[in-house]
Structure 1
Amino acid sequence: RGAKGVVFLVQNEASNGELLALKVISRASIKKKAKKINDSDGNEYKRIMFEQEVLRRFQHPLLPKLRGVLSTENVVGYAIDYCPGRDLNHLRKKQTEKMFSNDFIRFYAAELVLALEYLHGLGIVYRDLKPENVMIQENGHLMLVDFDLSTKLSPKPLSKSPSPKTTPYPLPKKEKKRVSNFYTCCYSPISADDSVHPAESVNSEPSHETRSLTKSNSFVGTEEYVAPEMIQGNGHDFAVDWWCLGVVLHEMLYGTTPFRGINRKETFYRILSKPADLVGEPTPLRDLIRKLLEKDPKQRISVAEIKGHDFFKGVDWEKVIQISRPPYIPGRFDDDDCTDWNKNIDIEDFVREVFKVEDDVSSDVMEKENGQKNI
């Protein structure tokens, strides 16, 4: 489970037991959160709808496709392709020293650059890049997930540097529209009815912040990855994603984020005023991280400069996503995934219980917890 919902491993019984990931959010938790911040729960639903709308638009091998949506009286949710390799943070912690080698980093960094470039070409600022949101597909390639904090700005022109043809990507094979008995999962089934629908292809633009914008003033993200301009509140654009990439690369290289303090206030102070401590002899990777973590977004390295950087020397950007042997290829199931399907536990009851336990924890205790906090 995450901060905003519970993710179930499910089977699509209409396609020979194909595995999918179903993210489910409690309607009661949405209302409670809105009340806590003195806001309308309609804004939370707009985020959910925006996420589903952008998922429908994606035609990229490193981004998820919306496979189905769920709406009942008590929960809302959607399904995407299942990634058996779990997330990048999980994989990093399995390494001997909880750090990646340069070759691992180069491959994963290149795929993140391609995914972000594609998003920016659609006018989407991701705004929540962190290892926990970078999943590993069955073929070993990455997949970005969780777009509820993303926003829409005027599309960014594609890089003119040597790069793959990021748009359009070849369309996937046409899928069956019927998703009967869509959710049979290791925790619970929800019978197929009018509240469960296959994802339909749409041509409309996302409705969330669809006016022509060059900057956003909202304040979202995960605190250790937030860019300086977002903290300052002077407006931000696509450059925040390149800052986040710098934080992620630092974490992959050193095993820690570069600006973490003992509390949020100190973390933000470090982000605004302290340079990243890039221990070790100068290398192309450390130079790239330093340029990504430039505090002035106008001076921060651009996607064209990233793709032409020495760290990626020799990388054929058109062939990155075609590599047949990525550094790590997971099995169909990760060790921690369940392999025996349980059809007797109700999803709604399970989700309700999860958020009930969460509600019993006081906000003071939550603030003191040592870990990432979404803003």
Structure 2
Amino acid sequence: MHDGDLHGGDGAVALDLKNLKVISPLGRGAKGVVFLVETESGELLALKAMLRSSIEKKKKIASAGDGSEYRRICFEREVLASFHHPLLPRLHGVLATDKVVGYAIDYCSGRDLHCLRKKQTEKMFSDDVIRFYAAELVLALEYLHSLGVVYRDLKPENVMIQESGHLMLVDFDLSTRLAPRSPENRSVSSSDSDPLAKKPKPKKKLFSFRSRRRDSGISPVNREETESDSASTASESVDKSNSFVGTEEYVAPEVVLGNGHDFAVDWWCLGVMLYEMLYGATPFRGANRKETFYRIVTRAPDLTGESTPLRGLIGRLLEKDPRKRISAGEIKGHDYFKAVDWESITEMPRPPFIPELTDVGGTDGNNEIDVEKYVEGVFEEKAENNNRNKNAWVNKNHPTQIQNDNFLIF
């Protein structure tokens, strides 16, 4: 892979490992390892590093007509460079050595929303705390949609807490681009009233995972690829993606059914997140993946408790039909947010949780950490685990008909 593939033409700063103080690894994922680093000027950044040989292999596959992972890596790099929003990360620089490639973004000292919820006494938030975080997520998603970016993997683990206490949405490797969505106020048949009395009609057709086509989860990088991965109907002129991606408990019904999806999937995921923040668990989790998907498609969320604006909003967000699901403009005008000042919420001086100040910037770093060797070790371990898990998957004869490598769960 040429360095230019990651450096791009947007003037991104080239990073040199020699000039970065590696303080500690922050986490690892399917694509790479994230390190906390300090620049020569004392700025703390999150450096995501991936193995170059793995990327080059994916690029060769991409040239042959597949290579969805390579395109996702390039897409994430591309969208990061385009962000100018207080709730989204800034691209601070790009790294390219003989062994690793990657990029640096803002470091969030408060960890993620999942960790924060787990620290709560009853593993859930109050209505007022949820309102603040929900409002910031609405603004972040609305901005992404205005750029034509469908996030597609909203979950607490991908929502970081900045030093200021405000949120930051990270990890865009499952995102894709469609025609930009303008703010809209759609007229729908459902109301803002308590949805507890609403029960979906029983499905006449048995739910089957064999009846729909599954794509490999390709995230288009440019307009031509987007159009080849889209579908339109006579009633809807917007593009749709047919990729089958997401995280199991948060994925929208239209993704499970393979009907094509657009920006509405993000509002579904927001509904799942709000439910989880309110009740301490996701609404459709089953004993296994097949049961979870069945519940997502067929069951209404169990909104136990008195009728409240929050429960009403969750019901509107978890509407099975994406055409009837509440939209951005309707969400901002919902009773639950009637006291929210949308113009100033990102400037609120005292969010619900302010991370404790730590002295990570004053440490000497961990001199034992060699970024290149560390990333190589992680990828070697991942390859060994994948081989073992692949064999275990076949032997266990998992009940779902969807293959593990077709649904990207992180």
TM bracket, shorter-chain basis: 0.7 to 0.9
Give me the whole-angstrom Cα distance separating, in 2, the residues matched to 1:257 and 1:29: 34
Tell whether the 8 Å contact from 1:85 to 1:136 is kept in structure 2 after alignment.
Answer: yes
Q: Match for residue 101 of structure 2?
A: 76
374, 377, 381: which one aligns with 1:357: 381
Does 2:409 align with 1:374?
yes
Shift in Å, 1:147: 0.6
Does 2:53 align with 1:53?
no
Q: Match for residue 10 of structure 1?
A: 37
Per-residue deviation, residues 97-155 of structure 1 (Å, max 9, x unmatched) = 11111111000000000000000000000001000000000111000001111101000
295, 308, 322: which one aligns with 2:347: 322
Shift in Å, 1:36: 11
Give me the whole-angstrom Cα distance separating, in 2, the residues matched to 1:286 and 1:91: 22
Does 2:368 align with 1:341?
no
Amino acid at match of 2:75: F
Aligned length: 326
Give me the whole-angstrom Cα distance separating, in 1, the residues matched to 2:166 and 2:356: 13
Does 2:323 align with 1:298?
yes
Tell whether the 8 Å contact from 1:84 to 1:334 is kept in structure 2 after alignment.
Answer: no
Give me the whole-angstrom Cα distance separating, in 2, the residues matched to 1:301 and 1:242: 8
Per-residue deviation, residues 216-245 of structure 1 (Å, max 9, x unmatched) = 111111111100001111110000000000
Give me the whole-angstrom Cα distance separating, in 1, the residues matched to 2:61 and 2:221: 27
Shift in Å, 1:364: 4.8
Q: Match for residue 226 of structure 1?
A: 251
Tell whether the 8 Å contact from 2:47 to 2:103 is kept in structure 1 after alignment.
Answer: yes
Amino acid at match of 2:108: C
Give me the whole-angstrom Cα distance separating, in 1, the residues matched to 2:115 and 2:109: 12
Give me the whole-angstrom Cα distance separating, in 1, the residues matched to 2:290 and 2:61: 21
Tell whether the 8 Å contact from 1:92 to 1:98 is kept in structure 2 after alignment.
Answer: yes
Does 2:246 align with 1:245?
no
Give me the whole-angstrom Cα distance separating, in 1, the residues matched to 2:146 and 2:249: 26
Amino acid at match of 1:343: N
Shift in Å, 1:32: 7.8
207, 216, 220: which one aligns with 2:222: 207
Tell whether the 8 Å contact from 1:105 to 1:253 is kept in structure 2 after alignment.
Answer: yes
Shift in Å, 1:261: 1.1
Amino acid at match of 1:363: N
* Residue 343 to residue 260, structure 1, CA distance change in 2 (3 Å): same
Shift in Å, 1:339: 4.8
239, 258, 261: which one aligns with 1:236: 261
Shift in Å, 1:343: 2.9
Amino acid at match of 1:351: V
Does 2:226 align with 1:216?
no
Does 2:118 align with 1:118?
no
Give me the whole-angstrom Cα distance separating, in 2, the residues matched to 1:75 and 1:325: 39
- Name which structure has the greater RCO, CA cutoff 8 Å, separation 6+: 1
Secondary structure at 1:157 match in 2: coil
268, 279, 304: which one aligns with 1:279: 304
82, 85, 103: which one aligns with 2:128: 103
Per-residue deviation, residues 30-84 of structure 1 (Å, max 9, x unmatched) = 57889999x8674322211111111111110000011111123332211101000
154, 158, 179: which one aligns with 1:154: 179
Give me the whole-angstrom Cα distance separating, in 2, the residues matched to 1:350 and 1:106: 40
Give me the whole-angstrom Cα distance separating, in 2, the residues matched to 1:79 and 1:46: 19
Give structure 1 stretches of 5+ with no counterpart.
162-204
- How many percent of aligned residue pairs carry the same amino acid? 67
Tell whether the 8 Å contact from 2:80 to 2:89 is kept in structure 1 after alignment.
Answer: yes
Give runs of aligned pairs for residues 182-201 of structure 1, distance below 5 A: none
Amino acid at match of 2:39: N
Secondary structure at 1:294 match in 2: coil
Tell whether the 8 Å contact from 2:176 to 2:221 is kept in structure 1 after alignment.
Answer: no
Amino acid at match of 2:222: S
Amino acid at match of 1:151: T
Shift in Å, 1:29: 4.7
Give structure 2 stretches of 5+ with no counterpart.
1-27, 187-219, 231-237, 399-406
Give me the whole-angstrom Cα distance separating, in 1, the residues matched to 2:359 and 2:365: 15
* Residue 294 to residue 301, structure 1, CA distance change in 2 (3 Å): same
The two structures, once aligned, show a CA RMSD in angstroms of 2.9
Amino acid at match of 1:228: P
Tell whether the 8 Å contact from 2:150 to 2:266 is kept in structure 1 after alignment.
Answer: yes
The structure 1 segments of at least 4 consecutive aligned residues displaced by more than 6 Å after TM superposition are 31-37
The TM-score normalised by the length of structure 1 is 0.80
Shift in Å, 1:2: 2.0
Give me the whole-angstrom Cα distance separating, in 2, the residues matched to 1:245 and 1:348: 37
Tell whether the 8 Å contact from 2:185 to 2:330 is kept in structure 1 after alignment.
Answer: no
Per-residue deviation, residues 330-373 of structure 1 (Å, max 9, x unmatched) = 134399x995511342111101112222222211588689xx96
